[in-house]
Structure 1
Amino acid sequence: MGRSVRKRLLMVAAAGVALATIGVALPAAAAVSRPTTVAGQAPKAPKPTALTITGEGMADITVTAKEKPQLFGDLLEEVNFMAGAGGAHSQIAAPKKSTLGKKFAVVVHYDDKPRYAYDLYPMASGGPKAFRPAAQPDKKKTTAVWFLGRMTMSEALRIAGAPIPEKPDVMSGGIGGGERVIPEDSLPNGRDLDTLLAELRRLVLLNGGVVLVLALMVAGVALIVRQRTR
């Protein structure tokens, strides 16, 4: 093979290496220029932001998670067990309309858009009842189902402003959901739970101090008696 042929082959090979290098470098540069995302980080799921309550003979009530987070959370617990396929353990047959009492319609909003709607009957015979309509604000298909409501339903709605008689003896969350925390203002003498626990701790420490002093006194007396009997 002549020297000129080898030179041409070397030039062709060098050109191929250069093209391959450029082909690898361009996608890498494009990837660097594009905005990157954290690996494995999924988009944040939307959260409920507001809840509206409507009923006959009352003004509409709106409770937001930002302004009243505790009340919003309490109200959400009265309906969130009915979302999707949840709450199967508390589903019931449709009750008679004459036993339901006053209806309160609750709509849960996500980013100011209505998504879920429920009908609550806190004063129904035999305990609170709840209904999930088949037609929902977000146009998603679901089934119309009746549920046993939480025993705290009437108090949660009343605190929000619904015209419902007070039931201070309500303590349990009922069959529809979990337990409800006892309000702080229901403690004796108007003291909150933190104050009561703090006083209890002080009492325990005081009793412990008294026991320690008595133990030291007994030990001291025993030591004196022992020294005198030698």
Structure 2
Amino acid sequence: MMPVEAAHAAPKPAPPGVDITGEGLAEPLRLRADVDPAHVTAVIDQVNWFAADGAPSGPKAADLGPKYTVVVLAGDQPRQTFDLYPLARGGPRAYRPAKQPNAVKAHAGWFLGRLNMSETLRTAGVPLPRQIETVSGGVGGGERMLPEESLDPGRDIDQALGELQRLLLLNAGVVIVITIGLAGIALLIRRRTR
């Protein structure tokens, strides 16, 4: 005979998973929590924080870049779907359609994506270029903030020392001009007071 608690226990929730389709993927990328828990969690974290309402309109289509559709699953049942644009101009974007596979009414809306969206999708298997400056996460952005040529430390030190030298010469010149001016004024005052 079965214990009463076991008979009334809640069914175990189905493990989560995600299916990703989009540019550069010949067939859907299927990630399951029992095989790739870290990747599934990372992809779901890209979309599970959206508010109830997003912006009613998004960027121009020409500014969106490649689109990747993420379907969040519970077991094999689709629950939610999102369109992700990791390379959008001005930073990653996400769109939540009103029609969701779980028949729950959702408000369609556009959202700023996390800075690490591109890198998260890339490490999960989506063919995207590497963007190491966006690994730490956050919301919005995604474009390189510093130009590549500004990251040369040798050039930066030489440039800083040259600017420091010019500044010191300028300061010395100002001190000399002020000293000569004060000496001239003192000389004029001395001549007039005699």
Whether TM-score is above 0.5 comes out as yes
Query: How many correspondences in the alignment?
Result: 137
As a proportion of its length, which structure holds more helix?
Answer: 1
Equivalent position of 2:4 in the other structure: 36
Equivalent position of 2:124 in the other structure: 160
What displacement does 1:161 show? 1.4
What displacement does 1:36 show? 2.7
Equivalent position of 1:98 in the other structure: 62
Equivalent position of 1:170 in the other structure: 134
* C-alpha contact 2:86 2:92 (8 A) present in aligned 1: yes
Partners of 1:54 and 1:141 lie apart in 2 by 23
SS at structure 1 position matched to 2:43:
helix
1:78 and 2:42 correspond: no
SS at structure 2 position matched to 1:109:
strand
Equivalent position of 2:17 in the other structure: 50
SS at structure 2 position matched to 1:169:
helix
Equivalent position of 2:35 in the other structure: 67
CA RMSD of aligned residues (A): 2.4
Partners of 1:108 and 1:45 lie apart in 2 by 18
SS at structure 2 position matched to 1:157:
helix
TM-score (norm 2): 0.63
What displacement does 1:79 show? 1.2
TM-score (norm 1): 0.54
Q: How does 1:168-207 map to 2 (within 5 A)?
A: 168-175=132-139
1:138 to 97, 102, 113: 102
Superimposed CA distance per residue, residues 36-88 of structure 1 (whole angstroms, 9 cap, x where no aligned partner): 338xx983673552101000331210111010111111111111113xxx366
1:118 to 73, 82, 87: 82
Larger Rg: 1
Stretches of structure 2 lacking an aligned partner (at least 5 in a row) = 141-194
Superimposed CA distance per residue, residues 175-211 of structure 1 (whole angstroms, 9 cap, x where no aligned partner): 27xxxxxxxxxxxxxxxxxxxxxxxxxxxxxxxxxxx
Partners of 1:170 and 1:37 lie apart in 2 by 48
Stretches of structure 1 lacking an aligned partner (at least 5 in a row) = 1-32, 177-230
* C-alpha contact 2:17 2:74 (8 A) present in aligned 1: yes
